[in-house]
Amino acid sequence: MSKVLLITGASAGIGAATAKLAAEAGYDLALNYRCDAQGAETVAKTAREFGARAELFQADVSVPEQIEAMFNAIDVSFGHVDALANNAGIVDQGAPVTEFTHARLKRMFDVNVIGAMLVAKEAVVRMQAQGSGAIVNVSSVAARTGSANEYVDYAASKAAIDTFTKGLAEEVAAQGIRVNSLRPGITDTEIHAKGGAPDRASQLAHKIPMQRPGAAEEIARAILFLLSDDASYITGSTLDVSGGR
């Protein structure tokens, strides 16, 4: 029986790249998306071409009831969840802290922190029942750098994810569940356009020791490693995949 991997935010970017590599590696896929149904279906089609079973589950992870409904649907469809790539996240327009609003901060933390924590909670409940599982929470190098004058709120949300990862990992390690955090550096994905700076990755390449942004597939490879048995003695760790930044 193939392992089932749930990927949140699977319709594009790192989530889509992770789905492709996971399908090649033999996982069946539960693919979550919020609004880009066409993108998610394209990802599922690619996965199926590798012989994977791939099912779509629409849910906004900022809404607890939708998270619960998604996991209930996964229970019916697959019956188990063996791995989680906790990838869904947002960024807002670049701005200094003095321009932040309560609405901006609430949306950021509802998605990037509370949503990610509740998704992990639901996955852990199922993994505890089966006595095994692996989770990768997708953080960001911004958790270390702070992203001054741009995305301090995003950076703070990802720092919270790193702390959550460490605490959860210690809670569930003895139950056969591994939890790690992966911090991508500047990666060439659509998220920059959503933050109002579509060329940001290439424009900041000079700040990266390797002198280039990462590709989504390079981040995905690291996620698959941390989920795999090759990482069987790794938990509570944070891996930077950042070109040396």
DSSP character string of 154-196: HHHHHHHHHHHHHHHHHHHGGGTEEEEEEEE-SB-STHHHHTT
Tokens for 13, please give them: 């970017």
pLDDT digits (tens, 9 = 90+) for 46-95: 999 999 999 999 999 999 999 999 999 999 999 999 999 999 999 999 99
Average pLDDT, the chain: 95
pLDDT digits (tens, 9 = 90+) for 206-237: 888 898 999 999 999 999 999 999 999 999 99
The class that CATH gives domain 4-234 is alpha beta
**pLDDT (mean) for 134-145:** 98
* Dihedral class, residue 243 (left if φ above 0, else alpha if ψ from -120 to 50, else beta): left
Under a CB-based contact definition with an 8 Å cutoff, are residues 3 and 83 in contact? yes
Under a CB-based contact definition with an 8 Å cutoff, are residues 9 and 31 in contact? no
CB within 8 A of 245, min separation 6: which ones?
Answer: 141, 145, 185, 186, 207, 208, 209
Given a cut of 80, is residue 99 above it in pLDDT?
Answer: yes
Given a cut of 80, is residue 199 above it in pLDDT?
Answer: no
Catalytic residue among 27, 33, 151, 154: 154
**pLDDT (mean) for 107-132:** 98
Domain boundaries, the chain: 4-234
pTM: 0.95
pLDDT digits (tens, 9 = 90+) for 16-34: 999 999 999 999 999 999 9
**Is 151 annotated as catalytic?**
no
Type and span of the H or E element at 136: strand 133-138
pLDDT band at residue 197 using 50, 70 and 90 as cut-offs: low
In this predicted structure, which of 91-95, 107-111, 185-189 has the lowest mean pLDDT?
Answer: 185-189
Tokens for 191, please give them: 């998220």
